[in-house]
């Protein structure tokens, strides 16, 4: 199992950023104001499914099968850190070794780069350092190879790429796979990240975590790992993964990591198969004493395209995000809906309905970040060195073996398009929330062929928008693409 199911394992960075307590810096005050100002009655009256505000009732679930292995990750935002989401904040756990004072994308090189180019440096880089995996989940094409894949970046190539990256930023590196612990040089990579002023975290399936491995994680200053659990029982999880015993190994790996002081984030990719089990998986995660619970909305592109039929219809998708908003108020875990940029619209709509403003003081970093950060402050490097806005954005913008990362980040027309929100088309272009949401560019690309087109899985209709959303998916799936 390449346990980056969905994008899930690829995001142990999120709460880490929150713990570090920095501004994402993605939104300007003006952008926040624009999202706040016009979201009156129109925005709040969105046509939710019957489960508005509650658990995603009525969502079908309970099938076996799998969720995709989309490498990399969603940049989605930075979670509510100190202050976090309303209410649940004080009760949220903090886990793992901290790295006080580390500010991704805030170092001297990053500041100099932004001043020189006017472009934000990457703050989070998901790096598929291998596609090899110890498991072979039925749904994951990256799995079941035990040696290096052809063309996989060597240790020297990885070090050279890090050397280049740190000339423009000091990011969080999400080391993912495949199963990153399968790389024999994993600790050398981790140490090199630290030595160069970056922060490595690991996305893992956790089945390889022994006391010895967890001790190494702690010794090599891994502040947090992320682990996917998509079902609350061994029977369902193992069936889903196609790996008998996998659930128990994963749960035990989490317990061991926690015993060694390594923070753990449980990720759940939500599909039709398990949307009615979100609460149960949350409760399992809470019972394991983890630090965060991140739901990931399936993005059926690239390696995940086989799972297209499992994607929630947009209305149910919205209901899950509403559940997250409400449940966060009482959960001790930090939530971060991911691959779901409209969550940042929903925050503002719900806050407005509650008579609140989405301020840093009340909502923490949720107030300061943006839904889709692909190409903006986040990107993905594949196992062979291809650079993408995120793991689901099925377009390679250059290869670090041929061109320095820093040049691709600076010069790619696609990256630069993604940074210019005025280029968004369709209802996203007309939307007052485009600065805080932006829609999923990977879905737009997959379904329309144009990464600047409207997000197909958003039910919101901006005021005054009269255009047809021709590519909006029908119930249970997309209409084209």
Residues 243-272 that bind ligand SF4 (CB under 6 A): none
Give the span between the Cα atoms of 365 and 77, in whole angstroms: 8
Mapping DSSP to helix (H, G, I), strand (E, B) and coil, where does residue 115 land?
A: helix
Question: Closest separation between CB of residue 439 and ligand SF4, Å?
Answer: 3
Determine, following the binding rule CB under 6 A, whether residue 437 of this chain makes contact with ligand SF4: yes
Question: Which of 68, 200, 341, 473 forms a contact with ligand SF4 (CB under 6 A)?
Answer: 341
Residues 357-376 that bind ligand SF4 (CB under 6 A): 372, 374
Q: Do β-strands 387-388 and 292-297 pair in parallel, antiparallel, or remain unpaired?
A: unpaired
Rank residues 73 and 96 by Cβ distance to ligand SF4 and give the closer one.
73
Q: Mark 36-75 with x for binding to ligand SF4 (rule: CB under 6 A) and - for no binding.
A: --------------------------------------xx
Residue 173: both structure tokens together: 């590196």
HSE of 311 in the Cβ direction (CA atoms, 13 Å)?
26
Rank residues 102 and 393 by Cβ distance to ligand SF4 and give the closer one.
393
Give the span between the Cα atoms of 54 and 232, in whole angstroms: 19
Give the span between the Cα atoms of 206 and 481, in whole angstroms: 35
Residue 14: both structure tokens together: 């999120």
Q: Which helix (H) or strand (E) element contains residue 165?
A: helix 155-165
Residues 70-99 that bind ligand SF4 (CB under 6 A): 74-76
Question: Nearest to residue 98, comparing CAs of 206, 216, 17, 162?
Answer: 17
Determine, following the binding rule CB under 6 A, whether residue 393 of this chain makes contact with ligand SF4: yes
Determine, following the binding rule CB under 6 A, whether residue 343 of this chain makes contact with ligand SF4: no
Give the span between the Cα atoms of 88 and 47, in whole angstroms: 27
Determine, following the binding rule CB under 6 A, whether residue 392 of this chain makes contact with ligand SF4: yes
Question: Which of 27, 431, 452, 472 forms a contact with ligand SF4 (CB under 6 A)?
Answer: 431
Question: Closest separation between CB of residue 371 and ligand SF4, Å?
Answer: 6
Question: Which of 18, 198, 256, 440 forms a contact with ligand SF4 (CB under 6 A)?
Answer: 440
Determine, following the binding rule CB under 6 A, whether residue 415 of this chain makes contact with ligand SF4: no
Question: Nearest to residue 296, comparing CAs of 29, 74, 21?
Answer: 74
Determine, following the binding rule CB under 6 A, whether residue 442 of this chain makes contact with ligand SF4: yes
Mapping DSSP to helix (H, G, I), strand (E, B) and coil, where does residue 262 land?
A: coil
C-alpha 156: how far from chain center: 28
Question: Which of 159, 258, 441, 478 forms a contact with ligand SF4 (CB under 6 A)?
Answer: 441
Question: Which of 282, 327, 348, 434 forms a contact with ligand SF4 (CB under 6 A)?
Answer: 434
Residues 269-308 that bind ligand SF4 (CB under 6 A): 299
Give the span between the Cα atoms of 428 and 454, in whole angstroms: 5
Residue 95: both structure tokens together: 């886990």
Rank residues 231 and 433 by Cβ distance to ligand SF4 and give the closer one.
433
Stretch that binds ligand SF4, among 84-92, 115-123, 341-349, 358-366 (CB under 6 A): 341-349
Quick one: the chain helix, strand, coil %, rounded to 5? 35, 10, 55
Rank residues 290 and 424 by Cβ distance to ligand SF4 and give the closer one.
424
Question: Closest separation between CB of residue 375 and ligand SF4, Å?
Answer: 8
Give the span between the Cα atoms of 144 and 249, in whole angstroms: 17
Question: Closest separation between CB of residue 300 and ligand SF4, Å?
Answer: 11
For the purposes of burial, counting CB atoms within 10 Å of the CB of 120, is it exposed (0-12), middle (13-18) or buried (19 or more)? Answer: buried
Residue 166: both structure tokens together: 């740190």
Determine, following the binding rule CB under 6 A, whether residue 159 of this chain makes contact with ligand SF4: no
C-alpha 242: how far from chain center: 24
Question: Which of 202, 254, 390, 400 forms a contact with ligand SF4 (CB under 6 A)?
Answer: 390
Determine, following the binding rule CB under 6 A, whether residue 438 of this chain makes contact with ligand SF4: yes
| Farthest CA pair distance, the chain | 60
Termini Cα distance of the chain = 27
Question: Closest separation between CB of residue 339 and ligand SF4, Å?
Answer: 4
Determine, following the binding rule CB under 6 A, whether residue 325 of this chain makes contact with ligand SF4: no
- Interface residues with ligand SF4 (CB under 6 A) are 74-76, 299, 339, 341-342, 345, 372, 374, 390, 392-393, 427-428, 431, 433-434, 437-442, 455, 458, 460, 462
């Amino acid at each position: 199992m390449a346990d980056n199911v969905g994008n899930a394992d690829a995001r142990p960075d999120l709460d880490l950023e929150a713990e570090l307590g920095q501004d994402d810096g993605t939104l300007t005050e003006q952008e926040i104001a624009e999202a706040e100002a016009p979201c009156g009655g129109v925005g709040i009256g969105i046509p939710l499914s019957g489960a508005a505000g509650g658990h995603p009732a009525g969502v079908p679930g309970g099938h076996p099968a799998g969720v995709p292995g989309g490498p990399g990750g969603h940049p989605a935002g930075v979670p509510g850190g100190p202050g976090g989401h309303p209410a649940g904040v004080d009760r949220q756990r903090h886990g793992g070794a901290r790295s006080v004072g580390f500010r991704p994308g805030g170092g001297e090189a990053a500041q100099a780069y932004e001043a020189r180019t006017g472009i934000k440096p990457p703050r989070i880089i998901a790096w598929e350092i291998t596609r090899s995996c110890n498991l072979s989940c039925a749904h994951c094409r990256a799995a079941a190879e035990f040696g290096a894949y052809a063309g996989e970046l060597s240790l020297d190539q990885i070090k050279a790429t890090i050397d280049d990256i740190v000339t423009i930023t000091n990011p969080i590196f999400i080391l993912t796979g495949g199963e990153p612990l399968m790389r024999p040089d994993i600790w050398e990579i981790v140490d090199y990240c630290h030595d160069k002023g970056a922060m490595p975290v690991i996305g893992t399936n956790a089945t390889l975590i022994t006391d010895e491995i967890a001790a190494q994680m702690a010794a090599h200053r891994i502040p947090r790992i992320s682990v996917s659990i998509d079902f609350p029982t061994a029977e369902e999880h193992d069936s889903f993964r196609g790996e008998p015993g996998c659930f128990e190994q994963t749960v035990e790996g989490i317990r061991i990591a926690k015993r060694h002081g390594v923070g753990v984030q449980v990720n759940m990719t939500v599909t039709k198969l398990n949307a009615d089990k979100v609460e149960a998986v949350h409760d399992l995660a809470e019972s394991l004493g983890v630090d965060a619970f991140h739901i990931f909305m399936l993005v059926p592109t690239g390696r995940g395209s086989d799972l297209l039929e499992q994607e929630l219809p947009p209305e149910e998708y919205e209901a899950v995000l509403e559940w997250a908003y409400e449940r966060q108020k009482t959960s001790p875990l930090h939530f971060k809906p991911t691959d779901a940029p409209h969550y940042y619209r929903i925050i503002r709509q719900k806050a407005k309905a509650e008579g609140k403003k989405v301020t840093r003081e009340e909502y923490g970093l949720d107030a300061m970040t943006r839904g889709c950060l692909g190409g903006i402050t986040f990107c993905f490097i594949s196992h062979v060195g291809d650079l993408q806005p995120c793991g689901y954005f099925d377009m390679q913008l250059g290869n670090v073996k041929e061109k320095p990362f820093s040049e691709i980040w600076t010069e790619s027309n696609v990256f630069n398009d993604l940074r210019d929100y005025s280029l968004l088309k369709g209802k996203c272009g007309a939307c007052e929330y485009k600065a805080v949401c932006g829609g999923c560019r990977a879905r737009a690309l997959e379904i329309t062929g144009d990464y600047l087109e409207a997000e197909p899985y958003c039910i919101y209709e901006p005021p005054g928008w009269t255009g047809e959303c021709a590519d909006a998916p029908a119930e249970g799936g997309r209409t084209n693409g």
